[in-house]
C-alpha cells in the first residue's frame, strides 16, 4: 500500500465522512490517531475483543498495520486505550441522560437505570474487557500499566454521581451535582452510613440488570415470557430499589 499523503482525508470506507467523525467530537476531521480509536470503538462493540481484527480498521481507513504500532505499540495497546476512552464516554453519556430527565429525584434515578441499560448495550463487545479482565488478559495488563489510576477516578466519579442521586431519592430533593473527575466528595460519601448501607444493593443490582439485558443472557434466550415481561420486570425492579433507598422495602 502506498503511503498516504498527510492532506488526504478520504478513506476506502465511504461511511467515514465528516458526519461520522462528528459523532465523537466537534472535529469533522480528527487526527489519524483518533480516527483509529473511533473506528475501533465500533469494531470491538460489534465483534468483542477475541474476534476483533485490527486489519479491518486499517482497511477501512486506508492505512497500514505499522501505523497502529506507531501510535499504540500493539493491538493490545490500541484495545487498552480504546477501553478507557469507551468507559469515559459511557460515564459522561450516562450523566447526560440524567440531566435530560425531569427534575424529580425518582425520575433522575430511573433515567440512570435505563441509561445504564442502553449504554451497556451500546458498549457491546467492550463489556468483557471492562467487566471480566480474564477475557482479555493482555489488554488488561496494558490497562493496568497505562490507564488504571485514571480509570479508577472515572469509576469513582460515576459512583459519586449515583450516590448523589440515591441521597436525593432518600431525602426527596433534587441536588445540582457538578462533580468532575478532578472534584467529587469522595470522603464525604464514604462517611455517609446510609449510602454505605444501600449503595451495594443499588449499584450491584443495576449493574447486573444492565449486563443481563445488554448481553441477552444466553441461558434465557428464546424464552418468550422473559421478553414479554421485560418492561414489567424493569418497573418492579425500580420500585424495589426505591423502597430499599427509603427504608420502606415492600415486595
Segment 18-46 shows an average pLDDT of 96
Whether 243 has a pLDDT exceeding 90, the answer reads yes
* Cell numbers linked to 97: 441522560
Measured in residues, the chain has a length of: 251
Is the pLDDT score of 75 beyond 60?
Answer: yes
- Asked if pLDDT for residue 236 goes beyond 70, the answer is yes
Q: How would residue 229 be classed by pLDDT, with cut points 50, 70 and 90? A: confident
Higher pLDDT, 181 or 217: 181
Residue, of 226 and 59, whose pLDDT is higher:
59
DSSP code of residue 8: -
The model's confidence at residue 88, banded by pLDDT at 50, 70 and 90, is very high
Alpha carbons 243 and 104: distance in angstroms, whole number: 16
Residue 189 to residues 7, 33, 101, 111, 245, Cα–Cα distance (Å): 50, 38, 23, 21, 15
H or E segment to which residue 21 belongs: helix 18-22
List the Cα angle 243/170/152 in 5-degree steps: 100
Q: How confident is the model at residue 215 (pLDDT cuts 50, 70, 90)?
A: low
Confidence check: pLDDT of 9 > 80: no
Average pLDDT, the chain: 90
* High-pLDDT (> 90) share of the chain, %: 76
Is residue 101 within 8 A of residue 161, CB to CB? The reply is no
pLDDT digits (tens, 9 = 90+) for 106-131: 999 999 999 999 999 899 999 999 98
pLDDT band at 54 (very low <50, low <70, confident <90, very high): very high
> In which band, very low, low, confident or very high, does the pLDDT at 164 lie, cut at 50, 70 and 90?
very high
This prediction has a pTM of 0.90
Q: Which sequence spans correspond to the domains of the chain?
A: 1-73, 76-246
pLDDT of residue 202: 93
Reported as a single tens digit per residue, the pLDDT across 172-194 is 999 999 999 999 999 999 999 99
Residue 92 pLDDT > 70: yes
The pLDDT confidence band at residue 34, using thresholds 50, 70 and 90, is very high
Q: At what angle do helices 54-61 and 32-51 cross, to 10 degrees?
A: 150
Amino acid at each position: 500500500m502506498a503511503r498516504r499523503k498527510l492532506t488526504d482525508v478520504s478513506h476506502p470506507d465511504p461511511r467515514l465522512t465528516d458526519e461520522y467523525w462528528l459523532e465523537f467530537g466537534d472535529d469533522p476531521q480528527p487526527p489519524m490517531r483518533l480516527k483509529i480509536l473511533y473506528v475501533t470503538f465500533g469494531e470491538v462493540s460489534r465483534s468483542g475483543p477475541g474476534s476483533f481484527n485490527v486489519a479491518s480498521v486499517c482497511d477501512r481507513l486506508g492505512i497500514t498495520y505499522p501505523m497502529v504500532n506507531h501510535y499504540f505499540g500493539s493491538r493490545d495497546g490500541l484495545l487498552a486505550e480504546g477501553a478507557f476512552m469507551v468507559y469515559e464516554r459511557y460515564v459522561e453519556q450516562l450523566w447526560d441522560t440524567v440531566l435530560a430527565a425531569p427534575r424529580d429525584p425518582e425520575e433522575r434515578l430511573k433515567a440512570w437505570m435505563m441509561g445504564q441499560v442502553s449504554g451497556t448495550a451500546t458498549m457491546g463487545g467492550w463489556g468483557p474487557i471492562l467487566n471480566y479482565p480474564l477475557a482479555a488478559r493482555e489488554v488488561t495488563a496494558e490497562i493496568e500499566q497505562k490507564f488504571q489510576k485514571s480509570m479508577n477516578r472515572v469509576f469513582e466519579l460515576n459512583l459519586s454521581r449515583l450516590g448523589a442521586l440515591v441521597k436525593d431519592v432518600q431525602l426527596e430533593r433534587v441536588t445540582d451535582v457538578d462533580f468532575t473527575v478532578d472534584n467529587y466528595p469522595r470522603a464525604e460519601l464514604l462517611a455517609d452510613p446510609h449510602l454505605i448501607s444501600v449503595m451495594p444493593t443499588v449499584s450491584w443490582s443495576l449493574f447486573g440488570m444492565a449486563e443481563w439485558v445488554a448481553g441477552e443472557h444466553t441461558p434465557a434466550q428464546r424464552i418468550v415470557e422473559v421478553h414479554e415481561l421485560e418492561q414489567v420486570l424493569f418497573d418492579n425492579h425500580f420500585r424495589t430499589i426505591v423502597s430499599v433507598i427509603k427504608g420502606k422495602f415492600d415486595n
